Chains A and B, each alone.
Chain A
């Protein structure tokens, strides 16, 4: 059974640009959540999607957005990139809200 797949693994972007990250959940999983991991702030919840609907949202500015497709694949978008957006972005999937969450390897975003 394939795990959670995130693409790309690494990205370098310039301030002011926008970026789209992709996450393919484990087959059969309908919940996808996104986290930002930085050395200073640790792991912080961005948002969660379940059956194409955003169910929860963390305390991030509106520049951070996401969506989920009918096949449960999810994308997150960050617009007007700032240096502070440099982080490891992690995606996790689970069957439902109350089952185990499995993380992908993440996308390392560097904003220069």
Chain B
């Protein structure tokens, strides 16, 4: 019940295309859902996060869509660029229970020039 599932495992997109990564969770107590981007040799960097009281959040080219009833959320990267090539992790936590995130297994995104 603590697991967060993530798909696809890897994704190849042409420059200018839309990258979509999906996540699903089981624990309905989760109420904070961040996405992290990680480049080789670096720690994960927070991209965008959402709480269940909204269905969508947009920041620049990055959008999170959240479906509370289906217990699913997704990351959309519009106008994907080669510089977006990285591994993306979704995560979930219970907001007031500390920073103990449950991470998805990650999606390796490659954006072709």
Spell out A's residues near B (CB within 8 Å): 4, 31, 33, 35, 42-45, 48, 50, 55-56, 58, 90, 92, 94, 97-98, 100-106
Contact = CB atoms under 8 A, between A and B. Distances in A.
Contact of B100 (A42, A58, A90): A58
Contacts of B89: 42-43
7 contacts: A4-B43, A31-B98, A100-B46, A101-B101, A104-B43, A105-B41, A106-B43
Main secondary structure of the interface of B (DSSP, over half): mixed
Contacts of B105: 42
A90 B102 CA distance: 14
Contacts, number: 65
A45 B98 CA distance: 11
Interface in B82-103: 89, 91, 95-103
Question: In which size bucket is the chain B interface?
Answer: 20 to 34
B43 to A, nearest CB: 4
A44 B106 CA distance: 12
A80 B98 CA distance: 28
Contact of B97 (A44, A56, A101, A104): A56
B43 A31 contact: no
